[in-house]
Amino acid sequence: MVTIRLVQGDITEQSADAVVNAANSSLLGGGGVDGAIHRAGGPEILAECRALRASRYGRGLPVGQAVATTAGRLPARWVIHTVGPVFSREEDRSELLASCHRESLRIADEIGARTVAFPAVSTGVYGWPPEDAARIAVETVRAARTSVEEVRFVLFDERAYRAFAERLD
Ligand code: ADP
């Protein structure tokens, strides 16, 4: 079974086999976690993302899917980019958010990552309430069949940290 740990902090400072990026479909960078990862990891990551856009993902990475690149100068070996759904009150997109976690772990298995750090995907610009995102993230990781040994949720702010901590009690 996967051990789940919580850390309040910056995902770009995490030593782990892989860190998950809350990317957007373009794979070409953005704000929040995405901006921080590209800034700290350097241009190698963006170069691989561009190559993915030029090959397998000509139309971008679909919501709910994941793909790995180098982690450049980050203290990790890989970045697993996943695209979270934008939160909607009209439509239940929970399955897509669950898919981000499941697919990231599937990619982690493919590359042989045993420790994986996740941010609170979709809870920033994409507007997902952290309490609900925490429920989906924790349930999905607990249910996953994976060889990953440690999932570390790295929460930037107090509210997200508390939301995840309550789920793990
Ligand atoms: P999304 O577009 O999927 O909502 P964001 O990057 O905007 O992604 O935000 C996702 C979560 O990550 C938010 O809770 C945000 O506060 C948090 N966050 C922003 N920067 C960092 C960082 N450097 N490390 C960890 N978490 C971060």
Ligand 1 atom closest to 84 (CA): 3
Three-class secondary structure of residue 125 per DSSP: coil
- For strand 115-118 and strand 76-83, is the pairing parallel, antiparallel, or unpaired? unpaired
CA of 155 to the centre of ligand 1 (A): 8
Percent of the chain with pLDDT over 70: 100
Closest atom of ligand 1 to CA, residue 22: 3
Q: Domain range holding 29?
A: 3-168
- Please give the torsion angle defined by the CA atoms of residues 66, 72, 75 and 77, in that order, rounded to the nearest 10 degrees: 50
Of the candidates 6, 10, 18, the one whose C-alpha atom is nearest the C-alpha of residue 39 is: 10
pLDDT digits (tens, 9 = 90+) for 78-122: 999 999 999 999 999 999 999 999 999 999 999 999 999 999 999
pLDDT band (50, 70, 90) for residue 62:
very high
Total number of domains in the chain: 1
CA of 34 to the centre of ligand 1 (A): 8
- Predicted confidence (pLDDT) at residue 37 exceeds the cutoff of 90: yes
| CA nearest to 154, candidates 26, 15, 29, 50 | 15
**Looking at residue 21, what is its pLDDT?**
98
Q: Are 36 and 79 in contact (CB under 8 A)?
A: no
pLDDT tier at 1 (50, 70, 90 boundaries)?
A: confident
Whether 25 and 51 have beta carbons less than 8 Å apart is answered as: no
Q: Please tell me the distance between residue 121's alpha carbon and the centre of ligand 1 in angstroms.
A: 7
Helix (H, G, I), strand (E, B) or coil at 66: strand
pLDDT confidence of residue 169: 81
Residue 18 has pLDDT above 90, yes or no: yes
- CA of 6 from ligand 1 middle (Å) equals 15
- Predicted pLDDT of residue 134: 98
Q: Which of 7, 19, 33 for a ligand 1 pocket mutation test, highest count of atoms within 8 Å of Cβ?
A: 33
The whole-number pLDDT of residue 135 equals 98
> Average model confidence (pLDDT) for the chain?
98
Q: Kindly report the CATH number assigned to the domain that includes residue 102.
A: 3.40.220.10
Tell me the three-class secondary structure of the chain, residue by residue: CCEEEEEECCHHHCCEEEEEEEECCCCCCCCHHHHHHHHHHCHHHHHHHHHHHHCCCCCCCCCCCEEEEECCCCCEEEEEEEECCCCCCCCCCHHHHHHHHHHHHHHHHHHCCCEEEECCCCCCCCCCCHHHHHHHHHHHHHHCCCCCCEEEEEECCHHHHHHHHHHHC
Q: Which residues line ligand 1 (CB under 6 A)?
A: 10-12, 22, 31-34, 36, 84, 119-126, 154, 156-157, 160
Give me the mean pLDDT over the 152-168 stretch.
Answer: 97
pTM summary value: 0.98
pLDDT of residue 11: 98
* Catalytic hit among 17, 34, 157, 169: 34
- Residue 17 a catalytic site member: no
